[in-house]
Amino acid sequence: MSEVMAGTAGIRGRAKELDAADELAGLRARFVLDDVVYLDGNSLGALPAAVPGRLDDVVRRQWGELRIRSWEESGWWTAPERIGDLIAPLVGAAPGQIVVGDSTSVNVFKAVVAAVRLAGEGRDEILVDATTFPTDGYIAESAARMTGCALRPVAPGEVAGALGPRTAAVLLNHVDYRTGRLHDLPALTAAVHEAGARMVWDLCHSAGALPVGLDEHGVDLAVGCTYKYLNGGPGSPAYLYVRSDLQDRFDSPLPGWNSHAEPFGMRREFEPAPGALRGRVGTPDILSMLALEAALEVWDGVSVEAVRAKSLALTDFFLECVAAYVPDGAVESLTPAAHAERGSQVALRCPDAGEVMKRLIERGVVGDFRRPDVLRFGFTPLYVGFGDVERAARVLAETVGT
């Protein structure tokens, strides 16, 4: 056996040992999966097996038979806060602080405008992550125009030095969508508060992949999607977190009948509902909402800390396999090596990355491509195993090698 073949056999053997010792391995059966290595859960999570049957009941019985009665009898009306309480432990929040509904973009707008209003007079500047997902920047710019603030893009590492007496609100991504870099939520939140400003976190690439600690670290407001590591399905509703002691002062720029204290009173004057409910706007999107509720059942009995431990083990092993298999210089990792700075994805830069990803997908390894030259691989510990990781790195090596 050649040295290369022996090395490959040794790595495959380690993958089998790691899979055999994996306490979360049995969770894979809770999803609808095939023999494809699916490493794109950071864009769209896999389908939980409980969702199709639940949706069939929602459509056929709740909508088809009960019809309008389902708003009360099937719990449709309370779904936004009920499902919010299911998400709460996954992001380190006590019940009663998260409401589900609308898109991430809409919730970012609500949160940033509300943060400026909470900050009070004399503060007229919004800091936004200069490397953020584009929509967050667009929304922050619109929120700045609406509130009469100046918008100042800064890199997350420069936030502490950019804060000042004019800063009203800061909007940052917990994990960079392109590189997978994890930003220091506790330290940055503390710095923003010390400056007298309000902190808004976008949790799209961290919720369901690692501990967040919203309550522990005193985060003011947070938003996130549910179709990535929470596996809620394409376009599933997002969520808004409002810290409990701020709820009576949360002034949403999008008041709607669903956020009224007396929604069926049909009064001309708006009176906000108590608690996180004032983050609601219009009629909930029930089909997507209840699909998400069913999807969250996969978390029954699962520890976020155990998920984080496996996530780091998976990404460590992938980087090790890439180093062992891929020819020197063929790819460059953009993802930090330090665990404290790494989310649950690995981003690799390589020439002709779009074509490389196309060929990987043809060979049963699904990640995604970000312009101009980045391959992204997302590791969802609930259903990705170490054998998947080894196979992905091996196919990548064969692909870039040819």
227 is an active site residue: yes
DSSP secondary structure, 375-388, as one string: EEEE--TTT--HHH
CATH for 53-299 is 3.40.640.10
User: pLDDT-derived band of residue 402, with 50, 70 and 90 as boundaries?
Assistant: confident
Query: One of 22, 40, 102, 202 is an active-site residue; which one?
Result: 202
pTM: 0.97
For 301-343, how does the pLDDT look when each residue is reduced to its tens digit (9 = 90+)? 999 999 999 999 999 999 999 999 999 999 999 999 999 999 9
The CATH number of 3-32+302-401 is which of 2.40.110.10, 3.90.1150.10, 3.40.190.10, 3.90.550.10? Answer: 3.90.1150.10
> DSSP code of 61?
I
Q: Of residues 178, 228, 243, 310, which has the active-site annotation?
A: 228
Q: How far apart are the first and last CA of the chain?
A: 23
- Which candidate in 31, 109, 177, 227 is catalytic? 227
133 is catalytic: yes
Task: Look over the chain and give the mean of its residue pLDDT values, rounded to a whole number.
Answer: 97
Q: How far is it, in rounded angstroms, from Cα 316 to Cα 323?
A: 11
pLDDT tens digits along 53-89 = 999 999 999 999 999 999 999 999 999 999 999 999 9
Give the whole-angstrom CA distance, residue 169 versus residue 51: 38
CA–CA distance, 237 with 285 (Å, rounded to integer): 8
Residue 5 has pLDDT above 70, yes or no: no
The domains of the chain are located at 3-32+302-401, 53-299
Q: Which of 376, 379, 383, 388 is catalytic?
A: 376
3-state SS, residue 34: coil
Torsions phi, psi for 233 (to 5 deg): 105, 160
Over 50: is that where the pLDDT of 1 sits? Answer: no
Which residue is catalytic, options 133, 239, 241, 386?
133
DSSP 297: G
